[in-house]
Amino acid sequence: MTDWVVSSHATSYAQTKPVGNSGNKIKVHELIEIPSGTNIYFYTREGTPLLVKTAWPLFHASMDSSKIESVKSGAVQVLRGGQMVCNYSIVGDDTWVDKQGSASGIFKAGDRFSTETWLLTAAGGFDLKFLFANIRPGDGLIWLACRSWA
């Protein structure tokens, strides 16, 4: 099992749907099921941003293999396989750079420069459903991203 660090912007975009024949409409967020064996470690509550002052120390710690379990133990919420989660849109940020390079992307925990790293820019990204389809069953996600709603 591999843990992946999601270091990006993430937003759940609502879709407007009709409510029966009433003419009323509601906004709904797409929910998807977390694959069996996968855990997502969140560091902010649903519908809220992740503060930069929280994210940078967690990012640096999650790149140190000796600190990964400590990072995971500090999560404010853990969702597990079989539970539902918003299908967040994941987009990079070109300004997330430190002296070692970009910190915007999907990183192998404990190995920032792994050949499996997916660097993300502000110009592109994908949704969580796509990420689930491209990681191995049982891999975990350390979610260093917002959980904003729009």
Query: What does each C-alpha distance from 7 to 22, 90, 142 come to in angstroms?
Result: 42, 9, 9
Say what the pTM is: 0.92
pLDDT of residue 18: 82
DSSP 111: B
2 vs 145: CA distance, rounded Å: 19
User: How many Cα atoms within 13 Å fall on the side-chain side of residue 146?
Assistant: 18
3-state SS, residue 89: strand
Res. 142: pLDDT tops 90: yes
Residues 94-106: pLDDT tens digits?
999 999 999 999 9
- The answer to whether the CB of 98 falls within 8 A of the CB of 63 is no
58 vs 68: CA distance, rounded Å: 9
Find the mean pLDDT for residues 77-87.
97
